[in-house]
A and B are shown apart, each in its own frame.
Chain A
């Protein structure tokens, strides 16, 4: 049995939008293990994004316990949580979310810059990472000059450059064509296996299910099935 990297118990999250109350998560319990690639699937609006937001400490929740690397995130204040997240979690988004004003390498370097690492170190790590995703030569190109697939590769490099233990990807392939999606998934799989990190991939795309170690099915804010 491998080590648990993230563990959630009875997570409940409701949104109050206007007069209506949306029960986005209705008691989610899930462990994520070291070194696994876990996929989170389910119909639109079932609470997948809400769940990974909670799991990464980006969203507060009503009740339940969420532990990351053994630490209870509800016990941390905003600054502690931010630092913790900066150190231990990497993100890949459907919309890439690269900073449009920064070059590819500057975008990749962001988690290191934010952590005030040394300049030389930042440069080496960022260019190594950019090379690892197959984008050497594009260091100084701004996101607007890159294709969608290339932008997502930059985002992946950014998610991994600081060696996080836990990587969260929300629909990483939805904005990409099939071929780019495959390339991105292969890249993600390869790199996390190399680095020994864990990863949650939220997806609609059943063509990439084959990369999963486990698939968690959600519906209406609940986990209805976990398949290996």
Chain B
């Protein structure tokens, strides 16, 4: 009976191919959408991923995302350092600045101030930041935003802006103005792109305070590494209790950030809606196609029933056919999604194939297919076997 089911399935090559394409499309859509979504989300907590040695993050109790922040007082650093179990604690200063380029254009940057002494949190080679007034810049997932004039005559020209002048990428030695203060590009890094994308500017704490003067509170995060015999979770709890600041492990912080995006970001909400819609449409199409396939073969099932095939035998045939289509189809779909992911994944196109994306794609298709198979059992059960006599 297994063989009969398989031959029935593959007999009409076009129909079978159509079925496979339908299933593959759904699996592709689901896997790809999830990968795309995961890509965005991992970029949402890029700052946390970038500082992987910081197992505990300390912040203002009101902060619940790496994206939306408010600063703490400078004394908080000493409080945290005073907690037993802290191997080291380094501050991270976040702020927004607008830089003036040599041709008169301007560009906003997220500025990340790192500890002067350790430079922890800076891209490598971090010691470039020891050059006075230096910054390391990063496209942060944007394109074409880090530009300076190509020719000397358009640079800080005495006759004002040269906005139309041809440009090139910023590089070592180029100069920008931030709040009328001169900064030198000491390097261009390529860290994890951000979501939403934005150019980044890394510098030392002292330079940070020079560029953004007059604030009362500067420290956004304190990155903590626990000593050997305490888990990040325990230390986080201890820091919270001792300092009345919020301290959580980096893993929890990533999760919180993703949650925050889900709830607060309109972009993400739209994206989730689209993904869900795509899944539903794909699932619907797959289900209907599988159902149609069985329905079109109804007379053949009636013939089999007339010859003594039991309801169970016919049901097994349908499940065999649906299962084969589902496995082969989703295999193709997931394969294409992974392949495409390799090809198109780029700083501007976030894509991250998490281990669960193909699994959800696969099981989603299997569940839908099995549901379709169950629904297909109905016409088989209700069919009048006497249709075998009809022409």
Give the B-binding residues of A (Cβ under 8 A).
49-50, 52-53, 56, 58-59, 78-79, 82-83, 85-87, 91, 93-95, 97, 99-102, 106, 110-111, 113-115, 158, 170
CA distance A78 to B313 in the complex (A): 13
Looking at the complex, which of B172-180, B209-217, B380-388 is the stretch in contact with chain A?
A: B380-388
A113 in contact with B1 given A52-B389, A58-B385, A101-B7 (CB within 8 Å): yes
CA distance A86 to B303 in the complex (A): 11
Q: Identify which of A82, A106, A170 contacts B308 (C-beta below 8 A).
A: A82
Q: Report the contact-size class of chain B (Cβ under 8 Å from the partner).
A: 20 to 34
**Contact of B4 with A99 in the complex, beta carbons under 8 Å:** yes
**Contact of A114 with B386 in the complex, beta carbons under 8 Å:** no
Q: Is B10 at the interface (CB under 8 A from chain A)?
A: yes
**Contact of A79 with B311 in the complex, beta carbons under 8 Å:** yes
- Nearest chain-A residue to B307 (Cβ)? A111
**Contact of B309 with A82 in the complex, beta carbons under 8 Å:** yes
A94 in contact with B386 given A79-B311, A115-B308 (CB within 8 Å): no
Q: Which residues of B contact A86 (CB under 8 A)?
A: 307-309
Q: Identify which of B307, B310, B390 contacts A110 (C-beta below 8 A).
A: B307
Q: Is B304 at the interface (CB under 8 A from chain A)?
A: yes
Q: Identify which of A52, A82, A97, A113 contacts B303 (C-beta below 8 A).
A: A97
CA distance A59 to B1 in the complex (A): 25
* A98 CB → nearest B CB, Å: 8
Q: Identify which of B7, B313, B386 contacts A59 (C-beta below 8 A).
A: B386
Q: Which residues of A contact B305 (CB under 8 A)?
A: 82
Q: Is B118 at the interface (CB under 8 A from chain A)?
A: no
Q: How many A-B residue pairs lie within 8 Å, measured between CB atoms? A: 76
Q: Identify which of B1, B8, B386, B388 contacts A97 (C-beta below 8 A).
A: B388
Q: Is B306 at the interface (CB under 8 A from chain A)?
A: yes
**Contact of B8 with A114 in the complex, beta carbons under 8 Å:** no
Q: Which residues of B contact A56 (CB under 8 A)?
A: 306
Given contacts A101-B10, A114-B1, 6 further A-B contacts (CB under 8 A): A58-B306, A58-B385, A94-B389, A99-B4, A100-B11, A106-B4
A101 in contact with B8 given A49-B389, A59-B384, A95-B391 (CB within 8 Å): yes
- Nearest chain-A residue to B313 (Cβ)? A114
Q: Can you sample 18 A-B contacts with CB below 8 Å?
A: A58-B306, A58-B388, A78-B311, A79-B311, A83-B308, A91-B307, A95-B390, A97-B299, A97-B303, A99-B4, A101-B4, A102-B4, A106-B7, A111-B307, A111-B308, A113-B1, A114-B307, A114-B313
- Nearest chain-A residue to B311 (Cβ)? A79
A114 in contact with B308 given A99-B4, A102-B7 (CB within 8 Å): yes
CA distance A84 to B6 in the complex (A): 26
Q: Is B300 at the interface (CB under 8 A from chain A)?
A: yes
* B66 CB → nearest A CB, Å: 58
Q: Which residues of A contact B1 (CB under 8 A)?
A: 113-114
8 nearest interchain CB pairs? A86-B308, A101-B11, A53-B386, A59-B386, A101-B7, A58-B386, A58-B385, A114-B309
